[in-house]
Structure 1
Amino acid sequence: MARIEAKLADMGLVLPQPLQLPANASMALPFAWVRVSGNRAFVSGHIPLNADGTIARPLGKVGAEVSADEGYAAARLVALAHLASLKRALGDLDRVKAWLRVFAMINVAPGFNQTPGVANGFSDLILELYGRDIGTHARSAVGMVLPLDAPVECEAEVEID
């Protein structure tokens, strides 16, 4: 088993299946979840998923229906969704040589300004799995309205071998 996948197993974490849109979601997704170009992989925006690919709950705005701690947990699930998509695209998560950039979007209630703490759920997991040399990344964490009422969505760019 590859090193990163072994760490995930040791932590009791499971990579989710691809996003399963709700039956009532009338949207097309005409893009790649991961686009590889040269030694870079660009990871599209992902939302928190359950192991079966359904959208994880709670849904709603962080600072209202979703607490900051629940937002942190949701961001961690987004990191797992990124890893799952990278695994499907690359075949091996150990091919990631550097996490370069993460753009975290938080569905915020008016006045909620703790977006960096919520986005730490994503960053902390990546750093735990990959260590500082590979896992350290540039990051933005901004508040906005998100599709499907997801509390968190992140996109990323990684360097691969």
Structure 2
Amino acid sequence: MSSNDQRLDALDLPLPPAPQAMGVYKPIVIVGDMAYLSGHAPLKEDGSMVTGRLGLNLDVEAGFAAAKLTGLAMLSTLRAELGSLDRVERLVKLLGLVRCTEGFVDQPAVINGCSELFRDVFGDDAGVAARSAVGTNALPGGIAVEIEAIFQIRQG
């Protein structure tokens, strides 16, 4: 059986540098065996963010890709804090916010970009969690998606 770190490496998806806080908050807070990740954005390799509005200038495929990038940024935060993704026991809850037009109804398909990544890294059981996918008219900096999560972790 492969480890979480090995499964991520096998996907051949580079992690961006762990994002730094852009305000008065921490990107991750650990309480007991729970890790709470603040909302993360779709961080591109060049350090810029994916911006736009689903249903206007972004389609579901572009939103899915943005959610996957967001998931990679979240994995980077976890690895930087924990030292290894192997300390992740399971994903407990995922909340995805999608910047979209009023008539856009495919928020779950967009957030699947992150959900499928976490499933591929943490496994079919531990990588699939309770989840909400919500549409909104605005997100910080005009980003396309913002995702936060709760993970159960092993003590280090």
TM-score, reference length from structure 2: 0.91
> What letter corresponds to residue 29 of structure 1 in structure 2?
G
Task: Please give the alpha-carbon distance, in whole angstroms, between the structure 2 residues aligned to 1:38 and 1:8.
Answer: 25
Partner of 1:29: 23
Mapped contact 1:15–1:80 kept (Cα < 8 A): yes
Unaligned runs of 5+ in 2: none
Q: Tell me how far 1:101 sits from its aligned partner.
A: 0.1
Task: Please give the alpha-carbon distance, in whole angstroms, between the structure 2 residues aligned to 1:118 and 1:55.
Answer: 20
Quick one: structure 1 residues 32 and 143, their matched pair in 2 at CA, closer, same or farther if it must change by over 3 Å?
same
Q: Tell me how far 1:136 sits from its aligned partner.
A: 1.6
Partner of 2:67: 75
Once the two structures are superposed, residues 65-110 of structure 1 have per-residue CA deviations (whole angstroms, 9 ceiling, x without a partner) of 1111000010011110110001111111111101000000000012
2:121 matched to 1:119?
no
CA RMSD for the aligned pairs? 1.7
> What letter corresponds to residue 62 of structure 2 in structure 1?
E
Quick one: structure 1 residues 20 and 100, their matched pair in 2 at CA, closer, same or farther if it must change by over 3 Å?
closer
Question: 3-state DSSP class of the match of 1:36?
Answer: strand
Partner of 2:39: 45
Quick one: structure 1 residues 19 and 160, their matched pair in 2 at CA, closer, same or farther if it must change by over 3 Å?
closer
Partner of 2:6: 6
Once the two structures are superposed, residues 7-54 of structure 1 have per-residue CA deviations (whole angstroms, 9 ceiling, x without a partner) of 222222011113379xxxxxx5111100000000000000011235x1
Task: Please give the alpha-carbon distance, in whole angstroms, between the structure 2 residues aligned to 1:127 and 1:98.
Answer: 10
Percent identical residues: 36
